[in-house]
Structure 1
């Protein structure tokens, strides 16, 4: 059986892979939701959904550093990685052990392709189809919900000391756009242009000078993501000072950055978030 992953790497399997190591939290959740709990043998310490996997599966490290000997001992048939979450070095070193399947996700289409691929790869086509139907239904429903909402300028912070934001060409940015949130740090290169252009903000998660926020776009809303950095009220206060009128909101980072089956929950979450933003008392001056 021949399959091609999202980086264009070809893989050949004699039989359906039975022992899976997953090095991406959202993809671990997806594998579980596709009915593959028994096939998952190794996960990262950040794979927190569903919670019980942490006590029933072998923890093989994080997403950026893994314990190769632990992975090897699990004798996996396949290791699932992601271009953004895992480094090229990790992927290269894991290839010595077994085939490494790498996903690459910027858009909802990319996300759906991953689910379809997993359905074929692990012989879970029916389950994959069910999840794709749920996602597509929730997506269409949300698009109707959002039609009459006014666009808002936003900044989405993922880190402090130094302050870093989600820029363009990221899955987070894609979900912001879906919400009619105009990311003031979206440097806007398409995938093809990204290689050539010298963007206003370098990289997909640029460091930013918050003192310049007013002149760089002066957002209506500042989002502080719950992961990977634990933002506190003092960050919200400090960032708010550098805008004219922005409302600062703590948001669930998983809803904006996890792909896979999580998207179904994300659309519900976005509806609630939009309703919250519509409440008059939120607009602080």
Structure 2
């Protein structure tokens, strides 16, 4: 079997489960460290000629991360594709279980069993807080309704002020963000790299939690570490 992954978290999942079948990945697939496979460009604009040249039996995509046009082009060329789109932690765990089966693995790998255990009883927050969660700046983009990252935070005691917004990724102005009176602002380091010097200053007087974007938004082996790590980062918000 030959697999090309256009989703960084799924690249990591396959590489740690059945590495011999992974023949291609995007330039943004950074885990596991030292991954040595052919690169096929970015997630949004992969080089489909390179993908096809690898003669994959399966290409992995995500409905949110990849373009429908690329999935359709691969299907039209006779390339089998598998598209994921988890919006909750349970959906992610289910889809990951289906994925490892699709790449020929009987039973669940250790990392997936560990992820299931970790999310069975995630750390309880000392004080639940309502937050805004920017994922981009210039313009501001925040988590809205029905997102995987929003569900991750909800399970760790963070209520998203935009969870009832009609859009999944609203683009409010900064004045509107401040008007939501957040008790916390959650700033991941990807896709936009918020830092202590870039992000918190926009919300004076509001505690800022700088968190791992990989553990907030990736669904794969990082799920096993995510509850404890994110809970600690949220608790550290001053």
Same fold (TM over 0.5): yes
Give the Cα–Cα distance (whole angstroms) in 2 for the partners of residues 265 and 211 of structure 1: 35
Give the Cα–Cα distance (whole angstroms) in 1 for the partners of residues 68 and 234 of structure 2: 37
Give the Cα–Cα distance (whole angstroms) in 2 for the partners of residues 123 and 77 of structure 1: 12
Tell me what 1:172 maps to: 149
Cα shift at 1:79? 0.4
TM-score, normalised relative to structure 2:
0.93
Tell me what 1:49 maps to: 31
Inter-CA distance 26–151: structure 2 relative to 1 (3 Å threshold): same
Give the Cα–Cα distance (whole angstroms) in 2 for the partners of residues 234 and 84 of structure 1: 26
Give the Cα–Cα distance (whole angstroms) in 1 for the partners of residues 44 and 134 of structure 2: 21
Cα shift at 1:234? 4.2
Pairs within 5 Å for 1:1-285: 18-34=1-17, 36-53=18-35, 56-95=36-75, 96-126=77-107, 128=108, 130-142=110-122, 145-146=123-124, 149-187=126-164, 201-216=165-180, 218-232=181-195, 233-237=197-201, 239-241=202-204, 245-277=205-237, 282=238
Cα shift at 1:72? 1.2
Give unmatched runs, 5+ long, in structure 1: 1-17, 188-200
RMSD after superposition: 1.6
Cα shift at 1:61? 0.9
Report if aligned partners of 1:72, 1:97 keep a CA contact under 8 Å in 2.
Answer: no
- Deviations along 1:68-105, one digit per CA (max 9) or x if unpaired, are 11111111111011111111101001111410111111
Of structures 1 and 2, the larger Rg is shown by 1
Give unmatched runs, 5+ long, in structure 2: none
- Deviations along 1:88-144, one digit per CA (max 9) or x if unpaired, are 101001111410111111112211112221232122123x253332122111242xx
Tell me what 1:9 maps to: none
